[in-house]
Structure 1
């Protein structure tokens, strides 16, 4: 009996799939497990790289569902500063699986968020989305009302969506042991005051990321049994690591953990898939061509290349047949503007920390 390698397609062999083609012609990197129809409401959330997905879906004529629209009267710049139209709800960046689980638990009233705010010279800051209100909130009542709107938007989005696209960004996270909650940023950077007795670094393992994702998706499906999930991993490296490791080693560790967890869930569940945005940007056949000079910012060409593969997969056509000029939303200063953790670079040697 012939062994199985005789019947494998060209995409299964490194020479024919990777080494011989021009890197830009490498195709068939993603075979979707389930269709994403043009009219299917798609909800997006995750790290800063995920902000490109929603506008790209709209530009392609698909249904990106934005559950928390900006109030009238804001200019485009003001909408961006306040975190509108980045994701399907105004949580700001959700870097970790633990934070996704936390937001969904709060939105579905499985848990209650702390009513505690950081103070700054300008106003009150929500510790769980510290960059969405320039100048801060004027009162605890305003801060609580704003968060309530976002939690309601999450509930609505999860109930109406057909597909949730979540981009994993980090394994490192700071926990507030006083409330047993995960924070998006280390206190003392974008706001708040760092307390070493209260704020603890956790570098999540594959098992922890998998458990948090599984819990988050179970809660989401409890209000929407039709919901399917597409996981991705952000190709944006860590700005800084608090583990003591070299930043390069810490980045590879973090992304490997996230990739393993996402792959495991996709293998286990028919309604969970994985899209290889991380591999498309970071794969060494591409020789870092999709990064800016800082080797961190993904260029517009890189984003367009990722979305080209995405739309090729959803349309069921070869990657090379999809539009080469996939629209990319303007970033007005690059990826760094959307990555809250980019502020950590100001605390590196020779840098001047921003005023708060």
Structure 2
């Protein structure tokens, strides 16, 4: 048996900070992401917080088998379709910032729950409280909200049953929930629609054990209806726009991202069919010296998005094949890199607070 000087002897360069990080420009970093077998040919669906929108657009642009189960009506222009939340994710569910939202969406899609307080009102218009940003002008009636939500959930069911890889970007630990049944919302009531009353809504800052329990439960439920499904977790590098805690927003952001990153790592270690992609590390890591943020130190610059995607799909791995066309509908997203923008309800918090 060969005797080593110490347990680190013979480890590759990627295991040492000096060799892998401090002496290299960020463009020279490699081996950050572990390859996922069959990724290039898999049916891929995406969901999560705002940053996840970039992943879906990139996969579609590069001709991968990206799932869009709720495409825009052909009559809509690309700009209008994007404004209404079409083509942003694999279904039109808007941003899913927390693990609690994800579990509840799955349960509702498969008839295991129905939110008590699922419709918010603003003036004479009505909004789907679980995705209030998809119709900026609201609906004419509660019945219209319910009808479209039933249609939406049917598409969500089909997506979960058909996907091979589910890419989910964890974004927040903070959320507002209904005191009546625990329904978690993507935004606080009163920001887009509805009104805040302390007796009806409460603030919850999910802890590590809460998120871990949520994701273990989600994985088990997904495997029941789709045994071959795999999950790829990422963590959003976008800081909190505002915090409802008593902490400084910088401290609150560090807590949130640290917990999410820890859970993602533990899920990857625990289950062979769960993977992690380091978009968070690419943007926030020391090698980039925060060069990938816009001047507001929150929005991720285009160069940062490009660097993340370089690690997700190196150029030599991108399949050189045409995108699958489906008549006129395919043209709706042909220029999505130009018409697309980051839909982010959370970004409205400061504005709603009068900042």
Distance 1:86 1:314, change over 3 A: farther
CA distance in 1, matches of 2:109, 2:352: 34
1:112 partnered with 2:114: yes
Equivalent in the alignment of 2:16? 13
Cα offsets for 1:229-276 (capped at 9, x unmatched): 000000000000010110111001000000001110000000000100
CA contact (8 A) 1:115 1:144 kept: no
**C-alpha contact 1:35 1:314 (8 A) present in aligned 2:** no
Query: Residues 278-320 of structure 1, C-alpha deviation per residue, up to 9 Å, x if partnerless?
Result: 010001221111100100110111101000100039949xxxx
Change (3 A) 1:328 1:80: closer
Say if 1:165 and 1:231, in contact at 8 Å, map to a contact too. Answer: yes
Q: Report if aligned partners of 1:122, 1:135 keep a CA contact under 8 Å in 2.
A: no
Q: Which residue in 2 is equivalent to 1:311?
A: 313
SS of 1:38's partner is helix
Distance 1:292 1:331 in 2: 19
Picking from 187, 190, 193, the partner of 2:192 is 190
Partner of 1:330: 338
Question: Secondary structure of the residue that 2:145 maps to in structure 1?
Answer: helix
Q: Are residues 1:22 and 2:30 paired?
A: no
Query: Does the 8 A contact of 1:96 with 1:171 survive in 2?
Result: yes
Aligned to 2:309, the other structure's residue is in SS state helix
User: How many Å apart are 1:69 and its aligned residue?
Assistant: 0.9
Q: 1:59 aligns with which of 49, 58, 61?
A: 61
Please state how far the C-alpha of 1:179 moved relative to its aligned partner.
2.5
TM-score, normalised to structure 2, is 0.91
1:45-67 deviations in Å (ceiling 9; x for gaps): 00010011112112222111011
- The answer to whether the Cα contact below 8 Å between 2:78 and 2:336 also exists between their aligned partners in 1 is no
Task: Label 1:329 to 1:74 Cα distance change in 2 as closer, same or farther (>3 A).
Answer: same
- The alignment partner of 1:250 has SS state of helix
Three-state SS of the structure 2 residue aligned to 1:289 is: coil
- Pairing 1:293-312 to 2, within 5 Å after superposition: 293-312=295-314
Q: 1:50 to 1:245 in 2, by over 3 A?
A: same
- Secondary structure of the 1:154 match is helix
Task: Give the whole-Å Cα distance in 2 for the aligned partners of 1:175 and 1:181.
Answer: 5
Distance 1:78 1:154, change over 3 A: same
Alpha-carbon shift at residue 340 of structure 1 (Å): 0.7
Match of 1:342 in 2: 347
Q: 1:321 corresponds to which residue? A: none
**8 A contact 2:78–2:339 mirrored in 1:** no
**Equivalent residue runs for 1:87-106 within 5 Å:** 87-106=89-108
Q: Secondary structure at the match of 1:202?
A: strand
CA distance in 1, matches of 2:126, 2:30: 49
CA contact (8 A) 1:96 1:168 kept: yes
Q: How many residues align?
A: 336
Please name the residue that 2:220 is paired with: 218
Q: For residues 331 and 292 of structure 1, what CA distance do their matches in structure 2 show?
A: 19
Q: Cα offset for 1:39?
A: 2.8
Whether the 8 Å contact between 2:97 and 2:171 is mirrored in structure 1 is yes
Deviation at 1:113, TM superposition (A): 3.1
> How many Å separate the matches in 1 of 2:154 and 2:316?
30
Q: Deviations over 1:119-153 (max 9, x none)?
A: 11251011111111121111122111111111111
Gaps of 5+ in 2: 319-334
